[in-house]
Amino acid sequence: MSRPDIDFCALAQGMGLEVMRATAAEEFNDQFAYCMANKGPHLIEAII
């Protein structure tokens, strides 16, 4: 049995979260700062 391929970004968007994708550390830091400064649920997908 293999792990299912779940699109967590699409799932989170469907639940009303603001979704972002970070592919570099600086990008993540900027997006994290944005999330901390703005109310509401957020998801940052960190691509490593």
2 or 25: which carries more pLDDT confidence? 25
Q: Which of 8, 14, 2 is nearest to 43 (CA)?
A: 8
**What is the pTM for the complete model shown?**
0.81
The pLDDT value recorded for residue 33 is 98
The pLDDT value recorded for residue 3 is 84
Domain boundaries, the chain: 12-46
The pLDDT value recorded for residue 42 is 98
3-47: per-residue pLDDT in tens? 889 999 999 999 999 999 999 999 999 999 999 999 999 999 999
The upper half-sphere exposure of residue 22, i.e. CA atoms within 13 Å in the direction of its Cβ, equals 17
